[in-house]
Chains A and B, each alone.
Chain A
Amino acid sequence: MIQRIANIAVLLLAALLCYGMQTTKPHYADLTAPIPVYGKIGETIQARTFDIAVDKVVFARTLKFDRFGQKKLLTTGGIWAIVTARLDARDRSAMVAAATWQGPDGLNYRASERTSLAAGALPVALDPGVAGRTRLVFEILPSQAADALLLVSGKLAGPLDSEARVALGAVALQADGVPEGTIETYELSDAF
């Protein structure tokens, strides 16, 4: 009798232990997540294969864009956020292929595909000693403009690779909800 109770107790204990291990162990997605390297706007952040320094962020209501010699005015339901940054390869040639604007509410905006033909759009190939530049264009909700984080990495899905996370800082909002200093039209020219 006592042995039977002891058996049941051991079984329950084992089940509890298994459940505990299952719920507390980190998930595969967390274990293989990118490794963040944090920094602020203006600082040079050293990722594994590249350095990045964000120059400035501009907000605009529309974009002017020359697509195959055809002038286009790109509108949006939110606002455009244009980030320019300097990029440098470290000791070998590298690619920078993915950028995400992470708003304060955790919404993740990938660099817009509508402007992927503009100069400076990702992916950018880098070589050591040759200064590189990128101009990232995001289409975001105005409420996600302030205190955003810019995530830049070498690959679109880069498990266990480093990811630069640049704090873009506070942005004051106007009465109509868009950030202060939002310009009407930003021209996506070849020089930036």
Chain B
Amino acid sequence: MFGSARSKLKAWIAGGIGTFAALAVGGALGMFDSLQKPVVMLEPGQPVETGPWEVRPLRAYTVDKGVYGLPLKAGEKALVFEAEMTNRTALSSKDYFTTFKSTGGTDDKPYIVLVRDSSMSPALQPGLPERMAYVWGLPAGATPPERFVLAVNGEIYKKRDNLYGVPGWYNEHVIGTVAIPVGAGPDTPDIRP
């Protein structure tokens, strides 16, 4: 009888240790996750590898007239950001909608245009660099910032995702931010590295 009670106690203790170990590991991982990582500042004009793309932020400017075939009503303003983007993957892709994110002061989602012929968000071809324009609308009455701060997002390649086991680019994360001076019109020159 005492023998069985002792083995029960042993089992309880072993189980308890396992639970506490799991809780401790989970807590520690969560703590490391929530640690503020230092923000990486990226230089405009320098190439940045985001995983599926190699991007080179080139210039930013405000417009009060339509740009690249995008109409703009009288009194409205838009913030245009241009970058050279190269598809590093082996397949035509338009996975660039969240590569650059505005950190505030603009509308949430940009229109994305191929500068070459003003087509709206076409797929970019592997190995062919293209200049793309991200156009954010500015809220009514907002003054455009002197420096436009953008978050540059990257993704990692997984041979198999957890749901379908197919290869792809997942786990979007911020690589760094780039602060780019905002010019006054479409004649703003590119930033030279």
| Chain A residues within CB distance 8 Å of chain B | 27-29, 72, 74-78, 106-110, 112-114, 139-141
Q: Is the beta-carbon distance between B92 and A110 smaller than 8 angstroms?
A: yes
Report the interface size class on chain B: 20 to 34
Given A27-B165, A28-B166, A75-B116, is A107 in contact with B122 using a C-beta cutoff of 8 Å?
no
Interface digits, B94-135 against A, CB 8 Å rule (1 contact, 0 not)?
A: 000000000000000000001011010011011111100000
CA distance A155 to B164 in the complex (A): 19
* B87 to A: closest C-beta gap in Å: 9
Q: Is the beta-carbon distance between B114 and A107 smaller than 8 angstroms?
A: no
Q: Is the beta-carbon distance between A109 and B119 smaller than 8 angstroms?
A: no
Which residues of chain A are within 8 angstroms of B8 by Cβ–Cβ distance? none
B66 at the interface (CB under 8 A from A): no
B186 at the interface (CB under 8 A from A): no
Which residues of chain A are within 8 angstroms of B123 by Cβ–Cβ distance? 110, 112-113
CA distance A28 to B168 in the complex (A): 14
Q: Is the beta-carbon distance between A27 and B116 smaller than 8 angstroms?
A: no
CA distance A52 to B18 in the complex (A): 62
Q: Is the beta-carbon distance between B126 and A108 smaller than 8 angstroms?
A: yes
Nearest CB in chain B to that of A75: its residue: B116
When the two chains form the complex, which single residue of A29, A75, A76, A110 contacts B166, counting CB atoms closer than 8 Å? A29
Please classify the interface of chain A as helix (H, G, I), strand (E, B), loop, or mixed, using the class held by over half of its residues. Answer: mixed
CA distance A78 to B129 in the complex (A): 9
Nearest CB in chain B to that of A29: its residue: B166
Which residues of chain A are within 8 angstroms of B117 by Cβ–Cβ distance? 72, 74-75, 114
Q: Is the beta-carbon distance between B122 and A114 smaller than 8 angstroms?
A: yes
Which residues of chain B are within 8 angstroms of A78 by Cβ–Cβ distance? 125, 127-128
Q: Is the beta-carbon distance between B164 and A28 smaller than 8 angstroms?
A: yes
Which residues of chain A are within 8 angstroms of B166 by Cβ–Cβ distance? 27-29
CA distance A74 to B91 in the complex (A): 21
Q: Is the beta-carbon distance between A114 and B119 smaller than 8 angstroms?
A: yes
20 A-B pairs in the complex with CB atoms less than 8 angstroms apart: A27-B165, A28-B164, A29-B160, A75-B116, A76-B116, A77-B128, A106-B90, A107-B126, A108-B91, A108-B92, A109-B125, A110-B123, A112-B125, A114-B114, A114-B117, A114-B122, A139-B128, A141-B125, A141-B126, A141-B128
B167 at the interface (CB under 8 A from A): yes
Contacts A27-B160, A106-B90, A114-B119 aside, 16 further interface pairs with beta carbons under 8 A come to A29-B160, A29-B165, A29-B167, A77-B129, A77-B130, A107-B126, A108-B90, A109-B125, A110-B91, A110-B92, A110-B123, A113-B122, A114-B117, A139-B125, A140-B125, A141-B126
Nearest CB in chain B to that of A110: its residue: B92
Interface digits, B127-171 against A, CB 8 Å rule (1 contact, 0 not)?
A: 111100000000000000000000000000000100011110000
Nearest CB in chain A to that of B119: its residue: A114
CA distance A76 to B122 in the complex (A): 13
Within 61-94 of B, Cβ neighbours of A (below 8 Å) are at 90-92
